[in-house]
Amino acid sequence: MIKKSILFAAISLSVLTACTQTKNQHEKALGGPCEDCELMFEGMPRQLSWQTTLAMPDEPGESLIISGTMYQPDGKTPAPGVVLYVYHTDNTGLYSPAPNQQHGKRHGHLRGWMKTDAQGRYAFKTIRPAAYPNQAIPQHIHPIIYQEGKGYYWIDDFLFEDDPLLTESEKSNQLKRGGTGVISLTKDKQGVWMGTRDIILGLNITNH
């Protein structure tokens, strides 16, 4: 388990002030329709780390750290240099933009990017998202993969095994794009939720 005390010590939301990339610099969507996926390029820094923080320290909600390894299609070889973009609701279940947010407002303010390191690792610290208000849709985090020279595509949402809204039917209907997105969370002594998910590039993605 990665120690949270050092994991994000050098990571700051100030990275979002770096020069950003634009959609027209990138390849097309893969694996079918990808609703709003192009928003991942809005505000994306040119320089990315394998770990990032989505939420400011005063963000309401329960702290959550998710980490894992990204693999090549063989499921064994680590995949370095792959961009993972994630976004999710706040603790009220809304994609709320930050004041004066200019990029990706439809994805809200809890959004961030990582580029896997030489070992294929990624990690992000955020809060546990709330479910949509007055709906039976489980808590989830949206992930999008971008592979330079190939394109971008969505993979299964991060879902949480202990979520009462996550039914057996919902689990069985997962497409397992990139592998299963259903993860088990545990709380550490500081009350931070911790979870791990490994991702296989191109798994169950057509035309990858």
Element (H, E) at 87: strand 83-88
The average pLDDT across 166-194 equals 97
User: What's the sign of the alpha-carbon dihedral 52, 56, 57, 61?
Assistant: negative
Q: Ranked by mean pLDDT, which of 11-15, 24-28, 146-150, 196-200 comes out on top?
A: 196-200
Per residue in 192-201, pLDDT (tens digit) is 999 999 999 9
Question: Who's near 129: CB < 8 A, 6+ residues apart?
Answer: 61, 88, 89, 90, 91, 93, 110, 139, 140, 141
Lowest mean pLDDT among 6-10, 25-29, 43-47: 6-10
Region 126-154: mean pLDDT is 96
Fold of 37-200: Protocatechuate 3,4-Dioxygenase, subunit A (2.60.130)
Domain boundaries, the chain: 37-200
Q: How many CA atoms lie within 13 A of 97 on its CB side?
A: 9
Tens digits of residue pLDDT in 97-135 = 999 999 999 999 999 999 999 999 999 999 999 999 999
